[in-house]
Chains A and B, each alone.
Chain A
C-alpha cells in the first residue's frame, strides 16, 4: 500500500497546509465570534525549514510549566530545530499510547518515560538505543551521572534511557512546628532519627505542638503511595525483592511485615489518620496542621507555594540500611522504522540541551541527575532541594519486570491487596500472601515484550 498518497509526518507539510487552509475556510463561520488567529502558527509551522521534533511527555501542572520553559530554552539555543511537546494523560493512557506509537513505527522523535518502565519496553524493540559515543560528544558521559542512575538506563549492554532527574519519596517537615517541639537542630534541620522508636518520639513531640496529628500521609485508593513508603522501610531492613520471569516472587516476609507494622503504628489515628487520601494529606500538611509529611519531592513546590517553612530530607534510616525509593523521568527514543539521520542528531542535541540546563528543573522538587548541575555552587543554596540531593547514592527503583514501574498494574495490585491491612487491621501476612499470588500469576505468564 502506498502511503505517499496521503503524506504524513513532516514531509507532508504542503498537503497539510492546503488542507488546513481549506478546512479553516469551512469552519471559519462557526468561530466568527472568536479570533481565527490560532490557525496562523499551524500554517506557519509547515513553512519552516528547521527540523521539527515531536516530543511526548506526561508532565503537567507545575512540572509541565517548567518543562515548557526547558523546551523553549533548548529551542532558543538551537535555531535549527524546533521541538514541539505533546502532553498526554499521566499513567496507563500515556504508556499505552507510547507503546502503540512505537509498535506502529511512526513514533515521536523523543519521549519521557519513567526509568522503572523501561524494562517493559526495551526488550520488545519498542525503543531504539542511544548511541553513547554521540552522547559523549554532546557532553553526556557516564561520569556525569550518579552511577546507580546511569546503570538504570541499560538493558543488556545497550543504553535505552537517560535520566533527567530522580524524584524520590522523602520526608518533608514544617520547621516552625519542629522548632516548637524541640526537634529542630541548630542547623535548621530536623534531628537525626535512627530507629522507629525515635521517629515516634519526634512525632509525639510534634503532636504536643499541633494539638492534633503529627504526620500526613495519603494512600487511600492509591497503590503507588502505599508502595513507595512501604518499600522504603522494607529496603531499609536490607531486604530485597526480585521478580524472575517464569519463576516466583522472592521477598522477605519478616521485613515485609515489620514495614507494615511500623506504618500501622504511625497511622494510629493519633499520629496520623488511618484513612488519609492523597489530596487530604497534601492539604493537611500545607495547611500547617501537621509537622511531617511523607510524599514525593514533586509536592515540594506545592508546599513552598503554601508558604510554610519547609524542610525536606531523605526518609531517615530507621532500620539500619540507608535506602530510598525513587523513579526517574528519562529520555527515550521510541522506535522508528526509518529514522531520519538529521533529525536523530537534532534529537540528541535537544536532549543534551535540556539535561545540561536542568538547574531550573530542581525548582519542581526533582533532583537533576546531571552532576555538573547539582555540583554547581549555586545548587547548595536551594532550600530544601540541597538537603536531599545526595539521595542519588541510595536510590532504588521498582523491582525489574515487564509489568512493574510507575503507573503500572504492579503498584495497583499491591494497593488492592494491602490497603485492608491499614484500613481495617487485617493480618499483614494475609495481604502479602494475596500480593504474592497475584504477582506469581503475572510472572507465570510469558513476558509479552
Chain B
C-alpha cells in the first residue's frame, strides 16, 4: 500500500508516515493502534450520531414506522411512490428552491457591498463591523421574536414607517404575497454578517502591490474594482455561494418560528414538511423517505454547483 496523501500540503509533510509505512509490519500495527486510539473518541460520536442515523434513516424510509411506536413493518417503496405523487412535498421543495434563490442573491451582493464599503477605511470601523455582524450572534428564536414584532401589521415599526410616507402597510407574515419576502428580509438581516466577514477577510488578503501597479498604469478606482478586486474575490465568492445555497436549502427555524401556526402551502419549506410529517403527523417512515429525496436534491445542487464553479475557474 502506498501512503496516500489526502491533500497536497500533506505530501510535503507526510515524511515520517511514509517512512514508517515502509517499515516492518510490527511497526505498522503499532501505528495503526495509535491512529485508532486518536480517532476513537471522534469515531464513537461519528458512527453513533451520524453514520448510524444515515443508515437507519434509509431503513426507516422503507417502513411504516410511527412516532407512537406502532407500525414498523417493511412496506417496500410505498413511501417513495407516495412522495413522488405528493403535491405538498413538491410544493415544499419548490418553495425551498425559491427561498434559496431569493435569499442567496441579496446575501451575497449586500455582503460584498458592505465589505467593499468598510474596506475603504472610513472612520468608525468597529461600528460597521458591530452593526453588520451582531445579528449573526442571535439565536433564530430571538431574531423571530424581534421581526415578528417589526412586521406586526398594526403596531409594527415597518408599517408605521411606511405610514409616514402615506403608504398603507401590509400584513407581512400573514399575506401570502408577502410572507416569503418577509422571511427573506429577516434572514438577510440575520445572516448577512457572516458572508460580510468572509469577504472582508478575503479583501484584506489581496496584496497592495496589485493596486499600486494598477494605479501607476492609470487605472481608476472603478477599474481597479472590476479588474482586481472582484476577480481576486472569485474564490471567496464561490465558497460563499456554496455555503449560502446549502444553508438556505436547509431553512427551517425562521419559517417555523415566524409563521408558527400559519405555515401555508406557499411558505412550507422542505425541512418544515419533514418536521410536520414526522412529528405532527407521526409518520416517521414517510418523513424519512422525504428526507432522503430532499438529501438527494442537496447532493444534486452541490454537484451542479461544483461543476459550474470548476468550469469557471478553469
Contact = CB atoms under 8 A, between A and B. Distances in A.
Interface of A: 89-93, 95-96, 99-100, 103, 124-126, 221, 403, 407, 409, 416, 445-446, 448-449
A404 to B, nearest CB: 13
A449 B70 contact: yes
Contacts of B106: none
Contacts of B283: 445, 448
A448 B261 contact: no
B280 interface: yes
A416 B283 CA distance: 23
Nearest to B262: A221
B281 interface: yes
Given A92-B261, A92-B280, A99-B279, A125 B69 contact: yes
Interface stretch (B49-57, B60-68, B180-188, B203-211): B60-68
B260 interface: yes
Interface string B66-84: 1111110000000000100
B174 interface: yes
B282 interface: yes
Given A91-B261, A124-B282, A100 B68 contact: no
Given A89-B261, A99-B279, A446 B69 contact: no
A448 B280 contact: no
Of the candidates B68, B70, B260, B261, the one having the most CB atoms from chain A within 10 angstroms of its own CB is B68
B261 A449 contact: no
Is chain A's interface secondary structure helix, strand, loop, or mixed overall?
loop
B64 A446 contact: yes
Interface residues of B, number: 19
B67 A100 contact: yes
Contacts of A92: 261, 276, 280
Interface of B: 64, 66-71, 82, 174, 260-262, 265, 276, 279-283
A95 B280 contact: yes
Given A103-B67, A124-B68, A126-B68, A448 B260 contact: no
Contact of B70 (A89, A93, A124): A124
Given A93-B261, A446-B64, A100 B279 contact: yes
B248 to A, nearest CB: 24
Nearest to B71: A448
B261 A99 contact: no
B189 to A, nearest CB: 24
B89 to A, nearest CB: 13
A92 B70 CA distance: 21
Contacts of A126: 68
Contact of A89 (B68, B260, B276): B260
A403 B280 CA distance: 10
Given A103-B69, A124-B66, 16 more contacts: A91-B261, A93-B261, A95-B280, A99-B67, A99-B68, A99-B279, A100-B279, A103-B68, A124-B67, A124-B69, A124-B282, A416-B265, A445-B82, A445-B283, A448-B70, A449-B282
20 contacts: A92-B261, A92-B276, A92-B280, A99-B67, A99-B279, A99-B280, A100-B279, A124-B68, A125-B69, A407-B261, A409-B281, A416-B265, A448-B66, A448-B68, A448-B71, A448-B282, A448-B283, A449-B66, A449-B68, A449-B282
Contacts of A95: 280
Nearest to A105: B69
Given A92-B261, A93-B261, A448 B281 contact: yes
